[in-house]
Amino acid sequence: MGFTNLQYVQELGRGAFGSVVLAIDADSKQLMAVKKLPRASVQSRYTESELINHSLLRHPHIVKFHRAFLSPSNLNIVMEYVPDGSLLSFIQGNRQLSEGQARWLFQQLIIAVDYCHRKGVANRDIKLDNILLDRSVLGKADWPILKICDWGYAKHDAKSLAKSKVGTVAYMAPEIADLWSCGVVLYTMLVGGMPFRSVNSDNLGKSVLKLLDDMRAQRYTFPSHLSDAARDMVAQLLCPQPHRRMTIAEVLQHAWFTPGLPPSALSMNDTYLKLDRRCAQSEGEIQAIVTRAVLGGEQRDGGCCSSRAYAEAGAKAEARSLASRLSAEQPLRVL
């Protein structure tokens, strides 16, 4: 399982910062997702932060980081492949979810965010597009496993003040907080639409001011069928005053959140926090790769999605961690 010879299969998506392709390891036959960042667009500080933060995280509700490597044109990030698309696509296909479905997914999201914060990493860009789903684990199409997938805006040390202006505006509190974004995700799952209108690029300044004003005034509506407990959960998460906003500890005890939650779910993060960092690349190696990407140094890997340089380190790391992954890294299966 060294992922030593990745071969291109197809493009999965494309955005402002690059593309994501599906690749298969010719030896293990395992499918992988490869995020391809044009080397000319790589910013050392932010890219290095994204990769290192992602490499620190080992959790069943977070897409696994495997490694990074350079090709002549791109910085390539090899990650776990999650087969069933984004939460955004899932909601678009269902329009709005039942409270039971929304709770199931929200429980997984909060457990993952709690782990990240206790690990010292704040994501700062939690949104429907950055949450992927896997329906194969439980074999139930309407009850998928959830995984957070993008760490481009992540900040190490979740207790520090967020000063940089990053994230996606429609999900942001003025102070930028993960729990606010979780509230936006929850509202959208329950209602089938965003609580606040997105920014209009034709009149950006006026649109942003209106959006922030709507956030501060909590101008959103609930459908009549929504339970009082669900409304209370959303309202507390979308509270514009950070000191009054619900904490993760309070979410975990909320009357809407707890139904169907197995007792082990509240302690599962204690197990994952004790796991060693099992990544084939050290933080120093990741930093060196990003530096070479920025400065133009070349690490020849033999093609678009091929990397023999990873073979020895990857094989050893995977062998050491395989047994523990099979026993310890199981998703929240019985909510």
Alpha-carbon dihedral sign for residues 153, 158, 160, 162: positive
Of 25, 27, 84, 125, catalytic:
125
Q: Supply φ then ψ for residue 13, to 5 degrees.
A: -175, 165
Residues 153 and 124 sit within 8 Å (Cβ to Cβ):
yes
Indicate the SS3 state at residue 28. Answer: coil
Residues 149 and 82 sit within 8 Å (Cβ to Cβ):
yes
Q: Tokens in use for 305?
A: 């999605």
Q: Supply φ then ψ for residue 264, to 5 degrees.
A: -65, -20
Provide the CA 212 distance to its chain's centre, in angstroms.
24
Residue 27 annotated among the catalytic residues of the structure: no
Angle among Cα 192, 198, 204 to the nearest 5 degrees reads: 175
**Which residue is listed with tokens 């961690």?**
321
**What is the C-alpha separation between 106 and 234, in angstroms, rounded?**
11
Residues 6+ apart with CB under 8 A from 17: 37, 41, 152
Query: If 0-12 CB within 10 Å is exposed, 13-18 middle and 19+ buried, where does residue 248 land?
Result: middle
CA dist 302 to 17, 310, 335, Å? 23, 12, 45
Q: Kindly list the catalytic residues.
A: 125
